[in-house]
Amino acid sequence: MEAVTPALVAVAGVAAFAIVIIRTGLIVVARTLMETVSSGVVAMLDSGLDDEAKEQAVRSAGLSLLAGAWKVAVRFSLALAAVAVPILLADLAGLVPRADSFAVLVRLDFILLTSVLAILAVWAASRRKTAAAGRITGSSAYGAGGKMVHALAFSGPGTLRNLARLDDRLFARRITAVPETQPIFITSLARGGTTALLNAMHSLPQVATHRYSDMPFISAPLLWSKCAGIRKPMPERERAHGDGMTIGLHSPEAFDEIFWRLHWPEKYRGPQISLWREADYKPEAQEFFTRHFRKIIALRHPQCEETEVRYLSKNNANIARLGLLPSMFTGCGIIVALRQPAAHAASLHRQHQNFSRLHAEDAFVQCYMRDIGHLEFGALHQPIAFDPEGLAAYQPDNPNYWLAYWISAFGNVSRHAGGMLIVTQADMRASPNTTMRVLMERLGMSGGLERDFSAFFLSSPDPQPVELFDPKLLRRAQEIYDHLAECAIRCTSPRKPDSYGSRE
């Protein structure tokens, strides 16, 4: 029995404390409590909720907070009591006096050692959990505190504008030092291949894009970058779309839709998002965008005064602004990604089902996607009004709805085809390097063209699930596709249009 020492008994007490913490689920309850606090704060700051909804959400959070606090108190009291059990048992058995065990328990070196070991254990467990984690959205980088910060950043249009003005004043000299260049806009319907194009062009030295690290203070990117050192790292994982693409804090992403909603809120007030026309031009919006583009260039390329760098936007909703972009940003490049209609519509349908489930499972995912203007799918689905009556015959859970949407969207693209660069997904899959080089030449860009772009694009043919769709609807879609494919950029002379139902 001489092997039983006060230190060993103290360790047993700490182990008992840990066992009770784990077995009673104290950590889970505490995390839920933080989520409850977060949900209440988020609700109060959520500009998308009316006063009645905010009051109901805060009241519900308050009741849950009281219940959660009681659960935490009971579990923590049990854990503290557990510490005394091995100490008292050792004393009753005559092995170690309890005074000696308690003396070790409160020693500074013992507290530091057990704390370090506990931190290492939690870190190892979190690493295993991270490795096993599945798909993520940009919102997955947020804990309870992050959600409150996000809610504050998106608490209303005034917050976004005031943060932008603060950024303007603090970094005025840095912003004005950036030479004016013409932006490049990548657009299409979602699932058209725009992310692959964005990733490929993001690898070039003469472009600057938004990144996930710019969130949530998106309108003050220079100021927020100064806080980057306190950001929790987010390992790259598969994004929520389930398409094999991975994202991390340094991955490029589409965030400028936030500013289109800021300056044209009236476009979003109906059941469908209205199209932008040349007459919708607002000089204050152009000034805002131009300054913001310069901020992103300054942030990504600090030495941009010495070389021409262009802001690159991947925003699927810009397909609604083909009538405004050329006049608002004279000389800009507009790239439209074109995918075979059957494959494209089937993918849209799948993602609508995917995000409908995600939105039902996690209210914050829905809040996050709404705040950044991703309104394509799920509970947030708000179609663009290319043809306000064209979707009336179908519901979003029907694949034909998405094919009809494709027809209305690309029918509108065909009316603007002369002012843009159309790139087919078939070409990107079959000849990524040659197609990218031709695209860059058409944009007047020369740097980085010697690199291999094949890793950014799938090489297999795009499956064509034609059986999902009404044949008459599909024939109409294919006619539009064939016309636009003839207008697409080509490595050589225009080729014969892809035949109906063929693979990409």
CATH number at residue 245: 3.40.50.300
Is 499 a domain residue? no
Is 336 a domain residue? yes
The 10s digit of each residue's pLDDT in 217-245 is 899 999 988 876 544 555 555 445 554 55
Give yes or no for residue 250 having a pLDDT over 90: no
* 114 and 176 belong to one structural domain: no
Give the H/E segment covering residue 355: helix 341-361
pLDDT at residue 248, as a whole number: 64
d(CA 256, CA 77) in angstroms, rounded, equals 50
Report the interhelical angle of 98-105 vs 6-23 (nearest 10°): 70
Is 61 a domain residue? yes
pLDDT at residue 397, as a whole number: 95
Highest mean pLDDT among 26-35, 243-252, 396-405, 410-419: 396-405
Say which residues have a Cβ less than 8 Å from residue 432's Cβ, sequence separation at least 6: 200, 453, 454, 456, 457
Q: Which of residues 192 and 303 earns the better pLDDT score? A: 192
pLDDT at residue 236, as a whole number: 55
Residue 115 has phi, psi (to 5 degrees) of -65, -45
Give yes or no for residue 63 having a pLDDT over 80: no
Long-range contacts of 355-362 (CB under 8 A, 24+ apart): 355/240, 355/379, 355/380, 358/137, 358/240, 362/139
pLDDT at residue 218, as a whole number: 92
Is 425 a domain residue? yes
Residue 499 has phi, psi (to 5 degrees) of -75, 160
* 297 and 400 belong to one structural domain: yes
pLDDT at residue 402, as a whole number: 97
d(CA 237, CA 248) in angstroms, rounded, equals 7
Q: Which of 496, 485, 423, 498 is nearest to 457 (CA)?
A: 423
Is 31 a domain residue? yes
pLDDT at residue 322, as a whole number: 96
Q: Are 276 and 236 in contact (CB under 8 A)?
A: no
Give yes or no for residue 423 having a pLDDT over 90: yes
Mean pLDDT over 468-486 rounds to 96
pLDDT at residue 136, as a whole number: 46
Give yes or no for residue 491 having a pLDDT over 70: no
Q: Are 409 and 376 in contact (CB under 8 A)?
A: no
Give yes or no for residue 407 having a pLDDT over 90: yes
* 461 and 414 belong to one structural domain: yes
d(CA 499, CA 21) in angstroms, rounded, equals 65
- Could you tell me the end-to-end alpha-carbon distance of the chain, in angstroms, rounded to an integer? 78
Task: Please identify, among 80, 104, 132, the residue that sits at the C-terminal boundary of a domain.
Answer: 132
Q: Which of 435, 442, 480 is nearest to 197 (CA)?
A: 435
Cβ neighbours, 10 Å, residue 226: 11
Task: Please identify, among 132, 165, 185, the residue that sits at the C-terminal boundary of a domain.
Answer: 132
Burial of 497 (0-12, 13-18, 19+ CB in 10 A): middle
Give yes or no for residue 46 having a pLDDT over 70: no
Give yes or no for residue 499 having a pLDDT over 50: no
Reported confidence tier of residue 122, pLDDT bands at 50, 70, 90: low
Residues 312-323, buried b or exposed e (16+ Cβ, 10 A)?
bbbbbbbbbbbb
Is 1 a domain residue? no
d(CA 427, CA 435) in angstroms, rounded, equals 7
pLDDT at residue 500, as a whole number: 30
Strand arrangement of the beta sheet that strand 421-424 belongs to: 207-208, 310-314, 184-187, 333-338, 421-424
pLDDT at residue 197, as a whole number: 95
Tell me the three state secondary structure of residue 421.
Answer: strand
* 121 and 265 belong to one structural domain: no
Q: pLDDT over 70 for what percent of the chain?
A: 79
d(CA 11, CA 65) in angstroms, rounded, equals 33
Give yes or no for residue 469 having a pLDDT over 60: yes
pLDDT at residue 494, as a whole number: 41
* 253 and 335 belong to one structural domain: yes
The token pair at 52 is 């009645």
Give yes or no for residue 39 having a pLDDT over 80: no
Give yes or no for residue 156 having a pLDDT over 60: yes
Task: Please identify, among 74, 103, 132, the residue that sits at the C-terminal boundary of a domain.
Answer: 132
Listed range (55-64, 67-76, 321-330, 376-385) with the worst mean pLDDT: 55-64
d(CA 68, CA 65) in angstroms, rounded, equals 5
Mean pLDDT over 401-408 rounds to 97
* 219 and 362 belong to one structural domain: yes
Reported confidence tier of residue 403, pLDDT bands at 50, 70, 90: very high
Cβ neighbours, 10 Å, residue 417: 17
* 116 and 256 belong to one structural domain: no
The token pair at 54 is 């905010």
d(CA 122, CA 359) in angstroms, rounded, equals 30
d(CA 146, CA 411) in angstroms, rounded, equals 42
* 67 and 175 belong to one structural domain: no
d(CA 281, CA 454) in angstroms, rounded, equals 39
d(CA 318, CA 427) in angstroms, rounded, equals 22
Say which residues have a Cβ less than 8 Å from residue 139's Cβ, sequence separation at least 6: 147, 150, 362, 364, 365, 367, 368, 369
pLDDT at residue 503, as a whole number: 29
d(CA 373, CA 91) in angstroms, rounded, equals 65
pLDDT at residue 126, as a whole number: 52
* 290 and 314 belong to one structural domain: yes
* 235 and 278 belong to one structural domain: yes
pLDDT at residue 1, as a whole number: 45
What's the predicted TM-score (pTM) here? 0.71
Q: Where are the alpha helices (DSSP H) in 394-447?
A: 399-414, 425-430, 432-442
Q: Which of residues 284 and 31 earns the better pLDDT score? A: 284
Mean pLDDT over 121-136 rounds to 52
pLDDT at residue 435, as a whole number: 93
Query: In this structure, what is the dihedral angle of CA atoms 489, 490, 496, 501, given to the nearest 10 degrees?
Result: -60
Give yes or no for residue 495 having a pLDDT over 70: no
Listed range (159-168, 220-229, 437-446) with the worst mean pLDDT: 220-229
Is 140 a domain residue? no
* 228 and 374 belong to one structural domain: yes
pLDDT at residue 261, as a whole number: 95
Say which residues have a Cβ less than 8 Å from residue 221's Cβ, sequence separation at least 6: 167, 210, 214, 292, 295, 296, 299
pLDDT at residue 456, as a whole number: 92
pLDDT at residue 16, as a whole number: 87
pLDDT at residue 54, as a whole number: 61
Give yes or no for residue 465 having a pLDDT over 60: yes
* 270 and 354 belong to one structural domain: yes
Is 503 a domain residue? no
d(CA 101, CA 88) in angstroms, rounded, equals 9
d(CA 275, CA 266) in angstroms, rounded, equals 11
Instruction: Write the DSSP string, 234-252.
Output: ---EEBTT-SS-EE-TTSB
Domain range enclosing 31: 6-132
Give yes or no for residue 171 having a pLDDT over 50: yes
- Tally of domains in the chain: 2
